[in-house]
Amino acid sequence: MARRIRLDYKTGNLWDRAIIVILLLSIPIVGLAENSPCDEVALRLVPWLPDGLKVERAARVEVRRCGAGRLPIAFLQLCGLALNKEKPEFVLDTGHIGISQLAMTTAAVGVVTFGGTVDQIFVIVFERGVPRLVLRRTTKGTAELRTSEDALTVVIREGNAAPKTFRFSGTAYEE
């Protein structure tokens, strides 16, 4: 005769509680798995759009919302898509809920996301129509994105330390 297992968090013993916690932690949140793009496209960032090319075929970064309608809050995801491609070159789950800054040049996209006590900074450059993540930083300080005619600059300030500056000119990186 088979023994029925009953797990009850409130009245169960320590082993029952441990099993329940392990099971809950092992269940992935649908749509938040790395490398699996979420359905809802919230924003398309297209640094350069040749004449006659549709936005959906351009090299771009898409900001997607994960868990919208299923979770109390939606988390953001960044997808880098190459020229004339439907499948992303990369998918980044930020774990954050909002964007505090965006900056774009004809060859680079900078995004700063917020959520909790830290901000994340992402810089994606485009080389021959293919997006490439070149900077991903987390800071408890502040980040500032600046653009000029030929470059995207990121300045990160943390406490009393000297600011860290990253400059992306075309596809070149300078510190």
- For residue 91, what pLDDT band results from cuts at 50, 70 and 90? very high
Domain assignment present for 2 = no
The pLDDT, as a whole number, for residue 73 is 80
Residue 6 domain-assigned?
no
SS (H, E, C) 85-148: CCCCCEEEECCCCEEEEEEECCCEEEEEEEECCEEEEEEEEEECCEEEEEEEEEECCEEEEEEC
Contact 124, 62 (CB under 8 A): no
Distance separating alpha carbons of residues 104 and 93, to the nearest angstrom: 20
Specify the higher pLDDT residue, 67 or 18.
Answer: 67
Q: The pTM is what? A: 0.77
Tell me, yes or no, whether 7 lies in a domain.
Answer: no
For residues 58 and 77, is the Cβ–Cβ distance under 8 A? Answer: no
Residue 28 lies in a domain: yes
Structural domain boundaries, residue 52: 14-174
Q: Is 1 within the bounds of a domain?
A: no
In a domain, 36, yes or no: yes
Q: pLDDT tier at 33 (50, 70, 90 boundaries)?
A: very low
Q: What amino acid occupies position 163?
A: P
Per the DSSP assignment, residues forming a β-bridge with 125 are 108, 132
Number of domains observed in the structure of the chain: 1
Per-residue pLDDT tens digits for 111-166:
999 988 899 999 999 999 999 999 999 999 999 999 998 899 999 999 999 999 99
Q: What is the mean pLDDT of the chain?
A: 83
Check: CB of residue 112 under 8 Å from CB of residue 105.
Answer: no
| Whether pLDDT at 76 is above 70 | yes
> Would you say residue 9 lies in a domain?
no
**CA-closest candidate to residue 79, choices 64, 65, 93, 91:** 91
With bands split at pLDDT 50, 70 and 90, how would you rate the model's confidence at 72? confident
